[in-house]
Structure 1
Amino acid sequence: MEPPNAASSNIYSPHRLSTSRPDIRLVVIHPSADSGAPIRCSLRVVCLDNGPQYEALSYRWGDAKITTDIDVEDTVFAVTTNLAAALQQLRQKDKEREMWIDAICINQADKGEKKNQIPLMRAIYSNSTHVVIWLGPQDATSRDAFHFLSKAAEKYSEGRKNGFLRLNQENNSLLASTLGRTGPYFILDKPILPTGLADILKPPEAYHRATVTLLRRDWFRRVWIIQEVAFARSAVVLCGRDSMTWDSFIHAVRLVEMAKAPLYQYRYRNESGVAPQFFLSILTQTRDAITVDKKYFTIRDATRRFAPFESSEPRDKVFALRGLLNHPEAIEIDYDDKTPDQNIFRRAAARAVEEAGDLSLLLDRHDHDHDRPGDAPSWLPDWFVPGSLHRGEAVSAEDCFCASRGDGKDAQVRVVDEDRRLLVSGHVIDQIKRVGRRRPSYADFGREYWSWDSRLPRKDPYGIIVNSCEALSATGWR
């Protein structure tokens, strides 16, 4: 998990967890009519097999060095300021509220307890009545963002009834496109031409920018939230006092993407070229895969799919994905300080090789400008290297790679020497005489023919098609 809490572990002694059954602790948030009163909590041990009723919190810890004291079991307990703000907002006036919150429910100083509790997280979030997603305290723009998204969610519900007919008409409006007043104007029901002082003082684009700022909050990039969202029966998004259901939030962002000029998406990309909805899209796809398709992931697919997400402890890039795997037991939880992170990564890569039985793992090893640890094997993928996934070399999980005669059954792949050496046996087919250029991506074409700051392409459509065909032909693609 995240860095351990510095509080004394004596609060956990009366609330010990059994290792023979799925026991967890719950936080009981005591009520108070005074919003400024200190936070008081107590703990309760329950067994998941007995179907306890509770909520679960999904949040980002924040800076572990900046803490606030709360009262847990009549003992001073330090939590990060972001969690303290969440507790302040979640506390009810007249009744207790029971929740599972990792920083308090797990003794973060007990590595053995963490090792036993992390494998339960899939069950913890899937058995909760619902998950509260805490994006953080309210700020100057978050209210505008929620107002904008609430309107977008309403428009999405209306549009689904008629195939988004009115939205398509707005997007195809020549006048709106010429004036650059599409998208946010439609969502907020603002006329194309300004009608009053309010439109001038706070134009609809300001609400859209506020939404972009909201989508760039740290919560969306935290690796632990993936399973917290994926396994939730239902979820609510909370930012300060503003809230929306998860489904409404997703529908709203989806409509914001639909209701804009063709180049609108490029305007708000960050310095790495990542669109604001990038992480949210991955979360949505993952939740659909698990809740609708009942699909879990291989180690290779999970580690490469979620590599852009972040964690304060490097090894959590592996441990946080355990619950999403077809075979979670393949990942051994190890928080021993004597175990280097590099060993954790090697183990995960070695288990990925064993699971796949082929060399598909090598497709995720690229030469980059960033530094790799000096003791990292040359075959170790770039899954765990920060910033390695925002490049064009990534190969889809469905692409095949085989060192045998074609079916993969004759290849023998194994990892030896404490997961340091990759041994491969197969058949020599031929020698490579020439390597063609990398196949251009849609992003390559976009940058060459249609700059982000321009409304018109640099070349006529016919020229773009001709040049694209020539480029594809040069790669040997037919």
Structure 2
Amino acid sequence: MSSQRLSGRSADTQQFEYNTLQGNNIRTITILPLENGVVRCTIMTVDLTSNPMYKALSYTWGDPRPKGLQTKEQAIVEFPIYIDGKTKTVTKNLYDALTRLASGVLVLEAPVWIDAICINQGDLEEKNLQVSMMDEIYKNANMVVAWLGEADGFTEAGLQAIERLASINAGLEPADHAEHQQRDIRSFGLADRQWQGLVAVFCRAWFTRVWIIQEVTLARKMNVIIGTHIVPEDIMRSAATYLARSGLWFKLTRYVLLFSRHPNDLDSNDVPPLGAVIRSLSGLDAGIRMGGFHPKLVTLFGRGNEASDERDYVYGMAGLVKLAQASHREQSEALPPPRYDADVEEVIVDWAKWMVKNMDNYMLFSHVGDETHRRLKTLPSWVPDITTSLMPNTFIYLDQHRQWHPSGEDVAGKLSPVDGSASVQTRAPLFDTVTAVATSFGVMNDEHDYDPVLELIESLRGVTEPYRESSEALACTLTAGITHSHAATTLCAILEAWVLVKADHVISTGRALLDATRRSKWSGLTLLAIRFAGHEDSS
């Protein structure tokens, strides 16, 4: 394959040039059989509104392997393909996918739409228009082909585990998953290598890419390919459903410790939390179509995933917004159209203004996160940095039935953007005043830095109404008021199990914090000012 690299091509090969697209037109390619190992294809323009037959490729532009195994060369080295006899270069992972498809690993029987080839990435005006149509492109494809990359030493064992979990899930009703949360991992009859393989498959980069959430959710039909292995859609979706609903994924993270220290094996830091893509595979589309998510809140699903262009944290969710708008009882204005010529910060501020328009609560503020975890430092303080994971997780459910009204259930504040600025304004009751702020966990160095947090709690005075005791108020504060489905004693037990750490050093325990609150009476709303922000880990 190395002979096909960019540096090895003929110097006099004519470069492929794009024509101009009009209206609802898109390009598709027909992949020809391999000829002396060379990838060849033809390209044509079709009108998307004429219901053309085509497939769409879902893949990652960079290295497809788990994060800890990726290399820069995998992401930047380009290989030539030939479109109508003219040369165009593509990344290695796409080249591998084209090679496999050209060799017949999957019979296509139709042209294919591939973003890196079918969109002129150098024409921003065309890119803006085509990205705005991305949901229609994937929704109208008769099949989405998900390319996860070439196989490795874990793939075969991992696919055996996936088939096993799919067969278990096939006989379950939705209510049965809760019972399976107590199931011991040794009861499945799978070897350690198969569990390790399962983790290795679901740690592939494809599962972390922000665009994948929309592509999977909107797909009519999907086949997953790893090397020469084809995983039918029903098998992958069923296994993902079991992982998501039984809580098994969290139990599996310890299995990476059994991986050898071979350079091509995984490290525990490479295992992501349960991601939105697995949730997509397990039926996110059904939840959206049933009106289970507010159209504006679905834009937060991509947070914590990966994107080659940070603007895609907004634009990659546009199709889900449209899907939610079609089924939700509360209609909202369209998401701002793609502008890849705008600064990332400007795109995110425009998104945040769109978020607060016509919303009757302050939920967006709880997604801002601690400043030590913000990558885009120039964003206004009220705007979440959605290019990073939310640290810490505020336990907010993205569900309109669990909205947070800190001023009381009957008093809803309303935010509105200020024209010509990056500010927002609101009219709402004054329910509390911030009088002191403790040190952020993100800048603590040792256990002594934790003392100001306890002192601040100790100094707070007030009533705990409507809470029965201060520990319940603390639980309600840290979970942003989501207590209706949990008893206060259960929440307090959860808090007692927390261990706050900095690096490898334990700072304090949740029990010590609860002991401090039980010695005083304070307002859970006031404690919002010192919400646990920026700690490195909790368990």
When the two structures are superposed, what TM-score results if normalisation uses the length of structure 2?
0.67
| Distance (whole Å) between structure 2 residues aligned to residue 413 and residue 263 of structure 1 | 37
Deviations 1:150-198 (A, max 9, x none): 23323433x349x989xx89x87xxxx6xx7322x1xx5xxxxxxxxxx
Partner of 1:198: none
How far residue 405 of structure 1 moved from its aligned partner, in angstroms, is 9.4
Contact 1:359 1:403 in 2 (8 A): no
Q: 1:120 to 1:148 in 2, by over 3 A?
A: same
Decide which moves more: 90-99 or 208-217: 90-99
Identity value in percent? 26
Is this contact kept in 1: 2:209–2:305, CA < 8 A?
Answer: yes
Give the structure, 1 or 2, with the largest relative contact order (CA under 8 Å, sep 6 or more): 1
SS in 1 for 2:139: helix
Per the alignment, residue 124 of structure 1 pairs with: 137
RMSD in angstroms over aligned alpha carbons?
Answer: 4.0
Letter in 2 for 1:40: R
**Aligned CA distance change for structure 1 residues 81 and 361 (closer, same or farther; 3 Å):** same
Give the distance between the partners of 1:40 and 1:245, measured in 2 at CA.
27
Structure 2 Cα separation of the partners of residues 216 and 406 of structure 1: 44
Q: Which residue of 1 aligns with 2:32?
A: 30
Q: Please list the CA deviations of residues 392-428 of structure 1 after superposition, one character each: whole Å capped at 9, or x if unmatched.
A: 32423332337699353xx553222534111223333
Amino acid at match of 2:18: Y
**Deviation digits for residues 313-351 of structure 1, max 9, x if unmatched?**
111111111111135733221111xx3211111110011
Following superposition, the deviation at residue 111 of structure 1 comes to 0.4
Match of 1:380 among 371, 379, 383: 383
Q: Quick check: 1:437 aligned with 2:474?
A: yes
1:80 alignment counterpart: 91
Count residues with an aligned counterpart.
Answer: 416
Partner of 1:334: 339
Deviation at 1:43, TM superposition (A): 0.8
Calculate the TM-score normalised by the size of structure 1.
0.74
- Contact 2:244–2:282 (CA<8 Å) still a contact in 1? no
1:293 counterpart letter in structure 2: M
Alpha-carbon contact 1:347-1:419 (below 8 Å) kept: no
Distance 1:266 1:254 in 2: 17
Query: How many angstroms apart in 2 are the aligned matches of 1:236 and 1:443?
Result: 42
Q: 1:444 to 1:274 in 2, by over 3 A?
A: farther
Structure 2 residues not aligned, in runs of 5+: 1-5, 7-12, 63-73, 257-267, 326-331, 435-459, 463-472, 480-489, 500-510, 525-539
Taking the aligned partners of 2:420 and 2:14, their CA distance within structure 1 comes to: 37
Q: Residues 117-174 of structure 1: CA distance to partner in whole angstroms, max 9, x if unpaired?
A: 11111111111111111111111111211122223323433x349x989xx89x87xx
Distance in structure 2 (CA, Å) of the matches to 1:66 and 1:444: 53
The one-letter amino acid paired with 1:289 is G
Q: CA deviation at 1:294?
A: 6.1
Mapped to 2, the partners of 1:285 and 1:136 lie a distance apart of 24
1:107 aligns with 2:115: no
Secondary structure at the residue paired with 1:26?
strand
Equivalent-residue separation in structure 1 for 2:232 and 2:310 (angstroms): 31
Question: Structure 1 stretches of 5 or more lacking a match?
Answer: 189-203, 452-463
Q: Secondary structure at the match of 2:76?
A: coil
Distance in 2 between the 1:37 and 1:232 partners? Answer: 31
Report matched runs for 1:351-370 at 5 Å.
Answer: 351-370=354-373
The structure-2 alpha-carbon separation of the partners of 1:272 and 1:47, relative to structure 1 and needing over 3 Å to count, comes to same
Deviation at 1:245, TM superposition (A): 1.9
Residues 212 and 103 (structure 1), Cα distance of their counterparts in 2 relative to 1, 3 Å cut:
same
Match of 1:313 in 2: 309
Residue 151 of structure 2 is matched in structure 1 by 138
Name the structure 2 match of 1:456. Answer: none
C-alpha distance in structure 2 between counterparts of 1:427 and 1:357, whole Å: 13
- Per the alignment, residue 80 of structure 2 pairs with 69
The answer to whether the Cα contact below 8 Å between 2:143 and 2:221 also exists between their aligned partners in 1 is: yes
2:101 corresponds to 1:90: yes
Structure 2 residue aligned with 1:234: 221
Among candidates 161, 164, 189, match of residue 151 of structure 1:
164
Query: Any residues of structure 2 matched to 1:182-197 within 5 Å, and which?
Result: 182-183=187-188, 185=189, 188=190
Contact kept? 2:240, 2:282, Cα under 8 Å = no
> In structure 2, how many angstroms separate the alpha carbons of the residues matched to 1:131 and 1:317?
21
Aligned positions of 1:162-311 closer than 5 A: 181-183=186-188, 185=189, 188=190, 204-255=191-242, 264-265=251-252, 267-268=254-255, 270-271=268-269, 274-275=272-273, 279-281=277-279, 283-290=281-288, 292-293=289-290, 297-299=294-296, 301-311=297-307
Write the distance in 2 (CA, Å) between the matches of 1:296 and 1:83: 34
Partner of 1:191: none
Task: Give the structure 1 partner of residue 59 of structure 2.
Answer: 59
Q: Structure 1 stretch 45-54 or stretch 357-366: which is displaced more? A: 357-366
| Partner SS for 1:244 | strand
Alignment CA distance shift 1:431-1:260 (3 Å)? closer
Give 3-state SS (helix, strand or coil) of 1:369's partner. Answer: helix
The 3 A distance-change label for structure 1 pair 209 and 446 is farther
Distance 1:89 1:307, change over 3 A: same
Q: Distance in 2 between matches of 1:31 and 1:8?
A: 21
Give deviations 1:27-85, integer Å, cap 9, x for gaps.
111124x6x62110111111121111111110001155211111012111100110011
**Counterpart code for 1:230:** T
